[in-house]
Structure 1
Amino acid sequence: MPNTLVPLPAPEPGRMPHVCLVAGDAPAAVKIAPIVAAMRRSARVRPLVIACGDQTEEVVEALSAFGILPSLVVESTLDGQTTQGAAWLLNTLDRVYADLAPDAVFVQGDNAIAFSAAMAAFWRRIPVVHLDAGVRSHDLTAPFPQEGHRRLIAQISSLHLAATADAAANLACEAHGGPKVVTVGSTAVDAGFGAIERHHEHADDRVRALEEAVLHGGSRMVLVCLDSTRWSQDDLAAVLHGVADLVLATPDLEVVLPAAYDSELRLVADDVLGRLVRVTIIDPVDHTDQVCLLSIAAAVVTDSNVLAEQAPSFGVPVLVLVGGVGAWAEPERPGYPWTASPERGLVARIAEKLVLSQVERLAVPPAHNPFGDGFAAVRCEQAVEWLLGLRSRPREFAPEL
Structure 2
Amino acid sequence: MTVYGTRPEAIKVAPVIRALETSPHLESVTVVTGQHREMLDQVNEIFGIIPDHDLEVFAHGQGLNVLMSKVFERLDPVLEQERPDALIVQGDTSTVAAASIAAFYRQIPVVHLEAGLRSGDIHSPFPEEANRKLTSQVSALHLAPTPTSKQNLLREAIDESTVVVTGNTVIDALLHTVDQGLPISDPRLAGPVKEGASILLVTSHRRENWGGAMEGVGRALRRLAEHFPDVLIVLPAHRNPIVREAVLPHVRGLSNVVVTEPLAYGEFTRVMAASTVVLTDSGGVQEEAPSLGKPVLVMRENTERPEAVDAGTVRLIGTDEQRIVDEVGRLLTDKDAYAQMANAVNPYGDGRAAARSIAALEHLLVDGARLPDFEG
Q: Same fold (TM over 0.5)?
A: yes
Number of the residue aligned with 1:354: 331
Instruction: Flag the structure with larger Rg.
Output: 1
CA distance in 2 between counterparts of 1:190 and 1:157 reads 23
Residue range with higher mean Cα deviation, 264-273 or 359-368: 359-368
Q: In structure 2, what is the equivalent of residue 58 of structure 1? A: 39
1:1-400 correspondence to structure 2 within 5 Å: 20-76=1-57, 79=62, 81-82=64-65, 84-214=66-196, 219-227=197-205, 231-259=209-237, 263-322=241-300, 332-357=309-334, 366-399=343-376
- Residue 157 of structure 2 aligns to a residue whose secondary structure is coil
Q: Residues 147-191 of structure 1, C-alpha deviation per residue, up to 9 Å, x if partnerless?
A: 222222111111001111111100010111422101111111111
- In the alignment, the residues of structure 2 paired with residue 371 and residue 248 of structure 1 have an alpha-carbon distance, to the nearest angstrom, of 35
- The 1:237–1:33 alpha-carbon spacing in structure 2 relative to 1, beyond 3 Å, is same
C-alpha spacing 1:163/1:336, structure 2 compared with 1 (3 Å): farther
Higher share in helix: 2
The change in CA–CA distance for 1:365 and 1:344 in structure 2 (over 3 A counts) is: closer
Compared with structure 1, are the counterparts of its residues 261 and 149 closer, same or farther at alpha carbon in structure 2 (3 Å cutoff)?
closer
Change (3 A) 1:94 1:63: same
TM-score, length-normalised on structure 2? 0.90
Which range moves more in the overlay, 236-245 or 140-149? 140-149
2:145 and 2:348 in contact (8 A); partners too:
yes
What whole-Å deviation, never above 9, does each CA across 1:208-254 have from its counterpart, x for those lacking one? 1111221xxxx311101222766435333211221222233334321
Q: Alpha carbons of 1:332 and 1:226: their partners in 2 closer, same or farther (altered >3 Å)?
A: closer
Structure 1 unaligned spans of 5+: 1-19
Structure 1 CA distance for aligned equivalents of residues 340 and 308 of structure 2: 20
Cα shift at 1:283: 2.5
**Long gaps (5+) in structure 2:** none
* Sequence identity percentage: 30
Rounded Cα–Cα distance in structure 2 between residues aligned with 1:261 and 1:163: 29
Distance 1:358 1:60, change over 3 A: farther
Which sits farther off after the overlay, 184-193 or 336-345? 336-345
Cα RMSD between the aligned structures?
A: 2.6
The equivalent residue for 1:13 is: none
Please identify, of 47-56 and 355-364, the stretch whose mean Cα deviation from structure 2 is larger: 355-364
Paired residue type of 1:37: R
Q: TM-score, normalised by structure 1?
A: 0.84
Deviations 1:32-56 (A, max 9, x none): 1111112223343222121115434
How many residue pairs were aligned?
A: 371
d(CA) in 2 for partners of 1:250 and 1:171? Answer: 44
Cα 1:361–1:45 shift into 2, 3 Å: farther
Q: CA deviation at 1:137?
A: 2.0
Secondary structure, aligned partner of 2:366: coil
Distance 1:273 1:88, change over 3 A: closer
